[in-house]
Structures are given as C-alpha cells and as structure tokens.
Chains A and B, each alone.
Chain A
Amino acid sequence: MHGYFGGYALVGLLGLVGVGFVAVGLGANRLLRPWRVTPEKLLTYESGVDPVGEDWSQSHVRYYVYAFLYVVFAVDAVFLFPWATVFALAGFGAISLGEMFVFLGFLAVGLVYAWKKGVLTWV
C-alpha cells in the first residue's frame, strides 16, 4: 500500500466493498420478497405520476444561446484563478487588479452586446 499505485489500490478496494454491499443487499431482497407482477407495477416510476411520452426528447434550440453564454463566461473565468493565486504577492498589487478589471471590462462589453441585442430576454 505504498507508492504511486498504492492510493489506487485503496480506491479499488473501496469500490469492491461498495459493489459487494449493493449486490448482497439486492440479492437478499430478491430471495426474500414475493414476485407478483401487474402492468401498473412495471411502469417506470416517475414521482407517482403516470409517465408521458418517450424517453427521448429534444430541448428547444433557443436554449443554445443561454448555454453558450454560460460556457463563454465560465471558461473565461479560468483566467481569474491563476491571477488570484499571485495578485496578493509583492510586485503585483494595484496594477494587476486594474489589469484584471480591463479583462473583465472586455467581457462586460460582450454581455452588454448580448443584452442590447435582446438575447437575454427569456422566451
């Protein structure tokens, strides 16, 4: 249980214990319970309501814009993390803070553009 792969061995052992726990529990249940099926009982359980439609459904393409805006801003936020680790160190300080706000300002222009073009109104 030492070295680089030792940690993985522990994870693997934990995984085996987990699988075993579930298998034993479900197996015992299967042996002990009665087994009388009706069509109602075989329905997919959906919060107690009868399920509607197919299991395959498509979202409307208009949500693409929200997903897109989210991805753009979430991904641009990755630049904040390396900056956050250094900006308090000696030699960075106020100028680094200002530079980051310039960067955020450029992002804000994008957001203002989306807002003025009516992309952000919920439809």
Chain B
Amino acid sequence: MIEHLRDIIESIWQYHPDEPLFYTGLAFWIAFTFVLGVYSLVYRKNSLRNGYLLLVSWFIYFQMSGAFLALLAFSCLANYGFGLLVHRRKFKKMWLAVAVALNLLILGYFKYTYFFVDTINQLFQTDYQVFNWIGWLLNQVARDVVDEHSIMLPIGISFYTFQAISYLVDVFRGDADVVKNPLDFSFYLSFFPQLVAGPIVRASSFIPQLYQKFSLKKKEFSHAIFLITKGLFKKMVIADFLALNFVDRVFEAPLAYSGLENLLSVYAYSIQIYCDFSGYTDIAIGLALILGFKIPVNFNAPYQASSLTDFWHRWHISLSLWLRDYLYIPLGGNRKGVVRMYVNLLVTMILGGLWHGANLRFLIWGAIHGLGLALEKLFRRAFLLGAKPTGWKKLLSVFVTFQVVSLAWIFFRARDYSTIQQLFYQIRYHFLPQNLMAGWESYQWVILVFLMGLLIIWVPNRYKEKLRGAFIALPAWMQIPAVLIVLMLIALVAQTGLQPFIYFRF
C-alpha cells in the first residue's frame, strides 16, 4: 500500500503526459485534499487566496498539459493587457478587434491548422505539410524542445480562449468591470475546476467573487459533495462503462454488429457523452463550490428537451449563451428579417460545430443542428405551434428531439465517413433483433448500465431533487459511508474486465 501511495504521490509531482492529473484518478483527490489543507491557512486574505489558487491552477494545468502552461500564461497576460486597452476611451474598437483576432489566431493555429492544410490539399490536389512555426521559434531559443513538424492541441484552449473573448467584449460593452490586478485576471482565466472543459464562465459573474470573503454553508458543502459523487458516478460508471464495453466497439467496426446493436450504440453514445460531459461539469461545479466560488450550471436534463431550441437551452448552456451573445446577436440575430435569421442560425451552429473539433464531421453535426433549429422555427411559424407542448405531444416531442440529437451525435462520434456509412448500412439491412435477444446473457451488464443511463437522462427533476435533498440533510457521519459506497462501486466498475462480445463468441 505504501508503495502504491508513493507511486501516486510521485505522479502528483511529476508530469506524465500519458497520465495527466485528472478527476478520475485517486492522485487528483489526494492532491486536492492537500490543496484544501493549505487553503485552510490562506483563505482569509483574498489576495493570498487568489494567488494561491492561481498557483494551484497553473500547477494542475502543467500536470495536464506540460509546457503549454506557457501559452496559458501568455494568454492571461495578453488578455489582461488588452482588457486595460479596451477599457480606455481611445481606439476601443480597434483594440477589441486586435485582441479578438489574436485570440482566434492562436486558437486557429493550434486547433485548425491540420484541418485547413488537409482541406487545401484535398481541394487543390496539393501536398502541403504542416510546419510548427511557433515550435520553430521556440527551438531557436532552446534547442529541440518542440517537434517542428507537428502541432499539438493544448488542453482547454477552446474554453479559455472563448472565456477571454467574452471578458474583452463584456468590458467593451460595459457589461463587466475591467480587472486591474493581473493575478486576479489570470486566476479568472485559469481557475482549474472549469479550465479544461468548462463551463465558460462570464467575467461579470466570476470577477466579483474574487473580492468576496470565503463563505460556504454546510448545505452548500453537502451539495458540492453530492455533485462530485454524482459526477464521478456518471463519468466512471455510466459513460466509461458504456464506452469501453459497447460504444467504442461498435463504432470502430459497425459491420461486425447487427443493425439493432448499431442503433443502440448510437443511443448509448448519447447517454455516454451526456454522462461524461455533465459528470465533468458536476465535479467542476462541486470543486469550485468547495473553494468558495460559484460557477454556472451547464446542463439541465437536455434529453428531456421537447425541441432543438429547448435542447440548446439545456445542453452546454454556457456555450449556447456564448454563441448567442457573441456570435448570433452580433451577426444580426432575428433583427434583420426571417431569411437572415435562418442564415444566422445556420452559421452560428456550423461555427459552434467547428468549435468542438477541426473536422468536417463536426461541421456536419453543427449544420444538422442549425438546419433543425431553422426548420423548427419555420414549422412553428407556419403551423402556429406553441413553444411548450403538453401531454402526449410533449412525450412525442421529447422522443423526436432525442432521435434527431442522437442522429447528429453519429457525426460527432464516428471516426470517418466510411464508419457512418457502415453504421447506416447495418441499421438498414442487418437489423437482426434476434441477435441481441440471443446474446442477453453476455449483454446483460451493458443493458443494465444502459437502462441506468436512460433513467438518469429521463427521470424527472423533482425525483433528482428529492435524492439531493435527502443527501444534503444527512449529517457528515452518515454522508461519508454513502459516498464511500458509491466510490467503491466506481472502483469495482473501473476494475471490472471487459464485458464479453455477444454469445461470448468471436
């Protein structure tokens, strides 16, 4: 045990690119407990607290992303400076344009270079190769620190870039105060719970918290523990299990599975991505809360949405709002006529799709949502439909919305176009439901977890609230055993071997 602990502690201090310090590992929680220990000494003085949490955030980011910490630090300093310039009276617009352009340029360089080069090569039959100019420049300073022939994507760059842009625009619009202390601004941009996968936190809601005293009620702490436990359960029991034992297998070889298995894997992926992403957000919100900071809710039962519009009010809410406030509305929103509104919707969703990844598949995913939203608005206008259906219409709407969202996820998840084609081929021609029934014994755990996933996405909020309320009401000595049971279950699932193939046959 001591040896195991020694390994864990070593992994906390040393950078391991293959094993980053992440919520899903015991090492992270040991490190976090240590962070809390020191935090209890510094939390009373705001500047000391913020400086300490900035250091911790940068350390954790370094453990995840290594040398890209320098890029994050650069982004913090540059955007802090741009914030001050945008806040000045002169050339505000110009500074804002320069700042946004620089942010997008950096994001584009690291995230979209391969996409652009590949697209150009395909369109013009050329053979351009990617060259890492920034890496080359760094190599002039320190020899051979970067591979000049490849560009790695820094973790969280999409999130902190969008967060920086929102800050600059808010300062420009007067919606947020400029941050005058560079350490405070760096802390806002680097706060570790939401740094690598959101939510995208607005300056106007976060910056004021930097100057408030630490305050946390017992109920809030219990809520945070509940969120963290729930997040770990969703991520490690539902999402990881479904991914490992079902979704990954089917998506990497659709032809090896029946159409029904392919279809179920699409639904399973819908559950997986929700449990993974919302699980992460739950943990992030819980961690921030424990440290005395409130960050916004990012998911609100998205698969209970009765339309795509409703879905985007519930799914990755911070991104939806960002796209609305900083892209859709500046494009003209619905103020410039109906046709323009549809075009704006489509453009916003396509760019939103590309934000998720540099690939044609993400563009298609965004376009499906954009077209869906446009069609939905069109039908609603044409047939004068109400915004919120009730009764059986609601059930039908939720069902149809889930189908459309799941269909779009195929483009999000599949490796390439061939996989998508094979998946649809199997669903159309080789549905073979009897295979699944015959393989019930070997599939029973997958089906059980799948059903648990369905329960999580569709159980009404009032029941979830009851569970949360019951947990919060427990005294600490009763909470700990409850959390331990869930943690042991997580450990059990994490240690479980692969579930067998259908019939246990290959």
Q: Do A and B come from one complex?
A: no
Chain B interfacial positions (CB closer than 8 Å to A): none
Chain A interfacial positions (CB closer than 8 Å to B): none
